[in-house]
Each structure stands twice: as structure tokens, then as C-alpha cells.
Amino acid sequence: PELQYPERLNCAVELLDRMVASGHADRPAILGAHGAWTYAQLLDRVNRIARVLREDMQLVTGNRVLLRGPNNAMMAASVLAIWKAGCIAVPTMPLLRASELVAILDKAQVNAALCAFPLKEEMVLAGSQSASLGPVVYFNDDAPGSLEELMASKPAGFEAVDTHAEDVCLLGFTSGTTGKPKGTMHFHRDVIAVCDCFPRSTLKSQADDIFIGTPPLAFTFGLGGLLLFPLRAGASTVLLEKLSPDLLLQAIQNYRATICFTAPTFYRQMAPLAGRYDLSSLRKTVSAGEALSVATRESWQQATGIQMIDGIGATEMLHIFISAADGDVRPGATGKPVPGYQACVLDDQGEPLPPGTVGRLAIKGPTGCRYLADERQHDYVHQGWNLTGDAYEMDADGYFWYRARTDDMIISAGYNIAAPEVEDALQRHPAVAECAVVGEPDEERGQIVKAFVVPRPEAEPGDALAKALQDFVKQAIAPYKYPRSIVFVMSLPRTQTGKVQRYKLRLGKW
Ligand code: 3UK
């Protein structure tokens, strides 16, 4: 792809003003509970919010603005307005508690906040403990002093702040699968570059597409898939505040959505319900966030006829960098580097490994990891290669196969066992709703394979089922990989982005 951008670049102008100027003004941009906003209407809102930021909240270029809210039109307009006003957006997951928010306010040295009214309580609590935080304005509310009211009194139009392509515009926080969230910095150029990679080469999105899905706009998976990619393509996006497998299927039917973004667990839950809805509009479905098992891929394909597009992305990389679509899909493999990115598998010394060997995944491309000052930048980036913390194997044809998070390789009696492989096998058993596998310290074997299983409602957990599951796994994969210990649980601990927190399972506390 052509990834040369001018030195002066404001990503909001690229994504929005340019679209309005090039004939998209009256096309629908954002659909949802608010109704529909065209590109021109979205631009008008963005300009007014940008004025509020600069004129009422007195912000200057480079200020950091915390952004809190559900996936809706005002939230989307606010991100774009923060960029257009030359400020840095710090989106946060709606469910964060005050103590977690305080950590982010401090770490990101936040100057101001735009916050959805229903999240006010936590915001006030956190704000009272922050030294840096200035003005806070609430939206999704028409009370005096609300963002909506301030916007209404502004004149139309706003001249974008002239930013450098390499000015930071986004602080993305990781979801904390291994503990405390880390902040990552992204430039205006990065925001446009991710739009010109995966969605163009792999997804092949077009102006008549209607995007829909579940990931929060506060998660770069959702920000890209449900806002940046649709805008860059001149397409429409459906933003949904309330989500469940049934509600998402219903919304796909109602809005005639064509492209869906969500995580494997959601596809797994939607597959058995899909037959009740008219999903004929749907063309492409993207799975990311966690490994997509062959079982989930197959159940979705059987239910809908759609071949899933798996893609691995990371907050550090901003979005997806390995993926495959259409005829290029190899079930079980994530795919090949997205055009624009390079990938290889390295050993612990940083030397490239030959095909067929499991090692550390390393990525180079137009986006990359820049942690906020206090993080361990050198653990992630070595000689320009981003080490994502994933154990991968490349085959002779250049396809990349996910094996595990590097921390989730279990070594038992000298065997290397990838936790997700055991999970895949378990998931194929009809009594298993969900499961997660970890290594448990063991005197004799070093570690043993331990499985946490959420049984389906009709299944009867107990010794008999545990034995049946063990036998089932021994039939499916090399017998030494079977879980020696099985624990039945009601649910699995997950991050707010939907990832299993295996470190909590290992600690036995959640
Ligand atoms: C894991 C996957 C196997 C992998 C993300 C798409 O997930 C995203 O970002 P996070 O920072 O986590 C990154 C880590 O998640 N992972 C993600 N996708 C896959 N593992 N197969 C996959 N398809 O361990 C990775 O290092 O929360 C995903 C776009 C933007 C994102 N931020």
C-alpha cells in the first residue's frame, strides 16, 4: 500500500472533512439509537465540540482529553473533535472504577475530560483524586452546561488545528490480561495508516458497507473497526450501546449490516442463534482479540455460510497486522502479514527461526509500540521489531499459526504444550460452553495441564464428566496434552475487552 503522508496531517480532517468535500456529505456516517447522521451532520457536530474544547474548556494543542462513554454517536464525534482541536484523546473503558481511572488520569497526565452523563459518579470520584485534571464536560444529556447545550450556542465551522503527522493524537490503554494497563502512544499518521492497511488489502471495504460490532470505541479494535475504517471508506457504521448475542444479530438484520467486528466468544455464542435472523446482508465477519479456534470458525460458517476473517492486532500496534480472507484462509492459521507489515518468528536470542518452529512473533510496519515513559519499551521493541508476547509458528508457505501467549506455553514433563490447543480440543465437546487452560506447578512434571471448564446448562459437572472430557481430549490431540486437572466453574475471569485473564486462573483468585 501507498503509505506516504504529508508532513502536516490531522487525522480527523483526513477522515471527515475530506469525505464531506469529496461528495459524501449526504451519505449516512453513523447509525444507532440517535437515528442517522450524515457525513455533513457528523462534521457539524465535530466542529461544535472542537469549539467547546478550545473556547469553553480553554484547551490548547497537545492537551490530553479523557473520553468516557458507550459506543454512540456523541462518543464518536468527541474523538474526532479532540483530534481536530489538536488535542490527544485518552479513551477509557466505560466500566472502569474510580481507582482504575485515577491510575490512568495520573499516568496520562490528563488535562480535561468529556464523559457520558451516566458515568458521572465514577468520573467525579476519580477527578477529585487527580492533580492534573481540569474541566470536565458531560454529554448524552441536555442539562445546563452539558456538551450538547454548549454546542448548540456555537457558530458552525471550525478550522482544524494544523498538526504534524507525527504528533501524538491517541493514548491507548491495554486491557490488562497480565495485570496493570499500559499506555501506548499513536500519531495522526498511524491512525490513517491502519485504515490504509487491513481494511483495504484484506477486508476490501467499500463505501456501500455498513459496519457493526461489539468492541468498545475505547479499545483500538473497536475504534478502528467501528469508526476509523468505515469513515476512511466513506461507509456507514452502526454504534450499539446495548449488546448481547441476540441484540447484535437483531441489529445486523435491522440495519442490513455488511461487515461485523467482534471477538471469538461472541461468534461462538451467536452461531446457535443465527438461524432465527435474516443475516443475508452480511458479507464479512472479522474475529480478533483472542485466538479463533477451528471449532468456532466452523460453527459460524455452518450457521451463516460465512468464512471468518481472523486477524491478530494489539493496542501497541494500533490494529490488525496478520490476517487472511477469502481464498487465502487456512483454518487454524491467523494468516499472513497484512500488506505494509512484515512478520517473523524469533528465538529467545532474537535470531530468526526456520519454518515449522515455535518462537516469538515479531512485527515491523507502519505502526508500532511507543509506551508512555514509564513502561518497558525494550521488552516490546528490539531493533525495530515489535515482540507482541505471542508464541507463533510460520509454515513453509508463509502462514502464521498462533500457538499461545508466550506465558501460556505449558512445559510438562519436558513437553511443550500450548494452552489454546487443549482449549480447542475441549471446546469441541458438547458439554463445554467455555474453557481456559493453564499450567499448574507440579513437583514431578514441572507443570501439569489444568483446565477450567464452564459446562453448558444441560451438562452435569462432576467426576464422570471430567473423565469423559479427559478421554475426549486424548482422542483429539496427542494424549500427553490432556488436562490432568479439571475444575468446573460458573464463568471465566475476563478483561473488559473480553479476554480470559489466565493469570487470575493461575492464582486461583477472581
Ligand atoms: C491477542 C490474538 C490470537 C494476542 C486488538 C485487534 O486484541 C487486541 O489488542 P490487545 O492489546 O491484545 C493484544 C493481544 O491479544 N490476540 C489478539 N488478536 C488475536 N491472539 N489470535 C488473534 N486473532 O495475544 C495479542 O498480542 O487487547 C485486536 C485490533 C486491535 C487490538 N487492539
Among 158, 189, 220, the domain-final residue is: 189
Helix axis angle, 120-127 relative to 98-107, nearest 10°? Answer: 50
The alpha carbon of 364 and the centre of ligand 1 are apart by a number of angstroms equal to 16
State how far the alpha carbon of 57 is from the alpha carbons of 63, 161, 183, in Å.
11, 16, 24
Ligand 1 centroid to residue 8 C-alpha, Å:
30
In a domain, 229, yes or no: no
Indicate whether 206 belongs to any domain.
Answer: no
Instruction: HSE, CB side, 13 Å, CA atoms: give it for residue 272.
Output: 7
pLDDT per position as a tens digit, 377-410:
988 999 999 999 999 999 999 999 999 988 888 9
311 touches 323 (CB < 8 A): yes
User: What's the total number of domains in the chain?
Assistant: 2
State in Å: Cα 314 to ligand 1 middle: 5
Q: Would residue 264 count as lying in a domain?
A: no
Say whether pLDDT at 333 is over 80. Answer: yes
Q: How far is the CA of 385 from the centre of ligand 1 (A)?
A: 17
CA 468 vs. chain centroid, Å, equals: 35
Strands 136-139 and 112-116, bridge-based pairing: parallel
Contact 351, 333 (CB under 8 A): no
Residue 457 falls within a domain, yes or no? yes
| Mutation pick for ligand 1 pocket among 315, 319, 334, 360 (CB with most ligand atoms within 8 Å) | 315
Average pLDDT on 443-464 reads: 95
CB atoms within 10 A of CB 478: 12
Ligand 1, atom 9, lies closest to the CA of 314
How far apart, in whole angstroms, are the C-alpha atoms of residue 194 and residue 368? 11
What is the distance in A from the centroid of ligand 1 to the CA of 289?
4
Q: In this predicted complex, what is the ipTM? A: 0.99
Handedness of CA 327, 333, 334, 339 (dihedral sign): negative
By most ligand atoms within 8 Å of CB, the mutation choice from 221, 360, 403 for ligand 1 is 221
Helix locations, 129-278, DSSP H:
147-152, 188-195, 198, 220-223, 229-232, 245-255, 264-270
Q: Average pLDDT, whole number, for the chain? A: 95
Rounded-to-integer distance, Cα 147 and Cα 140, Å? 8
Q: Which is it for the CA torsion 202, 207, 212, 215, positive or negative?
A: positive
Q: What grid cell was written down for 183?
A: 499506555
Contact 19, 235 (CB under 8 A): no
**C-alpha torsion sign, points 338, 344, 350, 351:** negative
What are the φ and ψ backbone dihedral angles of 479, each rounded to 5 degrees?
-55, -30
Taking Cα atoms as reference points, which of 475, 358, 493 lies closest to residue 438? 493
Q: Is residue 159 part of a domain?
A: yes
For 433, the domain range is: 413-507
Over the stretch 200-220, which tens digit does the pLDDT of each residue have?
Answer: 999 999 999 999 999 999 999
**Is position 184 within any domain?**
yes
pLDDT computed for residue 238 by the predictor? 98
Q: Are strands 28-32 and 236-239 parallel, antiparallel or unpaired?
A: parallel
Q: Look at residues 127, 157, 189 and tell me which one is the last residue of a structural domain.
A: 189
Pocket of ligand 1 (CB under 6 A): 174-175, 220-221, 288-292, 310-315, 319-320, 334, 388-390, 402, 405, 497
CA of 420 to the centre of ligand 1 (A): 14
Determine which residue's CA is closest to atom 28 belonging to ligand 1: 313
Residue at 354 is within a domain: no
Residue range 410-422: average pLDDT?
90
CA distances from 166 to 110, 306, 466, 482 (A): 20, 39, 55, 49
Amino acid identity of 306?
I
Distance CA 109, CA 505 (A): 33
Residue ending a domain, among 146, 173, 189, is 189
Atom of ligand 1 lying closest to residue 388 CA: 26
Residue 507: per-residue pLDDT: 87
Is residue 235 over pLDDT 70? Answer: yes
Which cell numbers in the block locate residue 115? 464523559
- Residue 488: pLDDT band (50, 70, 90) is very high
What spatial distance separates the first Cα and last Cα of the chain, rounded to whole Å?
44
Alpha helices in 54-117 (DSSP H): 73-84, 98-107
Instruction: Take residue 417 and report the three cell numbers written for it.
Output: 504444550
CATH number of the domain that residue 479 is part of: 3.30.300.30
pLDDT in tens, 176-199: 655 677 899 999 999 999 999 999
Q: How confident is the model at residue 56 (pLDDT cuts 50, 70, 90)?
A: very high
The answer as to whether 251 is a domain residue is no
Report the nearest-CA residue for atom 14 of ligand 1.
314
Say if CB 150 and CB 131 are below 8 A apart. Answer: no
> From the CB of residue 411, how many other CB atoms can be counted at a distance below 10 Å?
12
Q: To the nearest 10°, report the CA torsion of 454, 287, 325, 294.
A: -10
CB 483 within 8 A of CB 426: yes
CA of residue 363 to ligand 1 center, whole Å: 13
Q: Measuring CA to CA, which residue among 385, 395, 275, 282 is closest to residue 335?
A: 395
What atom in ligand 1 is closest to the CA of residue 175? 27
pTM listed for this prediction: 0.93
At which residue does the C-alpha cell 491502519 appear?
A: 194
3-state secondary structure of 195: helix
**Any idea which residue has 444441560 for its cell?**
458
Q: Are 188 and 161 in contact (CB under 8 A)?
A: no
Q: Name the band, by pLDDT with cuts 50, 70 and 90, for residue 374.
A: low
Beta bridge pairs of residue 35: 32
Given a cut of 80, whether residue 119 has pLDDT beyond it is yes
**Ligand 1: nearest atom to the Cα of 361:** 26
Distance 367 CA to ligand 1 centre (A): 15
Closest-CA residue, ligand 1 atom 21, reads 291
pLDDT of residue 177: 59
SS3 content of the chain, % helix, strand, coil (to 5): 35, 25, 40
Can you tell me the distance from the alpha carbon of 4 to that of 56, in angstroms, rounded to the nearest whole number? 36
Per the CB < 8 A criterion, the answer to whether 84 and 11 are in contact is: no
CA of 315 to the centre of ligand 1 (A): 8
> Mutation test of ligand 1: which of 390, 402, 497 has the most ligand atoms closer than 8 Å to its C-beta?
390
Query: Coil, strand or helix: which one is 202?
Result: helix
Instruction: Return the number of other C-beta atoms located less than 10 Å from residue 84's C-beta.
Output: 28
Q: How far is the CA of 174 from the centre of ligand 1 (A)?
A: 10
Which residue is closest in CA terms to ligand 1's atom 26? 388
| Residues 261-276: b if buried by 16+ CB within 10 A, e if exposed | bbbbbbbbbbbeebee
Beta bridge partners of 412: 415
> Residue 99: is its pLDDT beyond 90?
no
Closest CA to 367 of 404, 324, 313, 406: 313
pLDDT of 446 over the 80 cut: yes
Q: Whose CA is nearest to atom 30 of ligand 1?
A: 221
Quote the ligand 1 centre to 321 CA distance (angstroms): 10
- The model's pLDDT over 2-18, given as tens digits with 9 standing for 90+, comes to 899 999 999 999 999 99
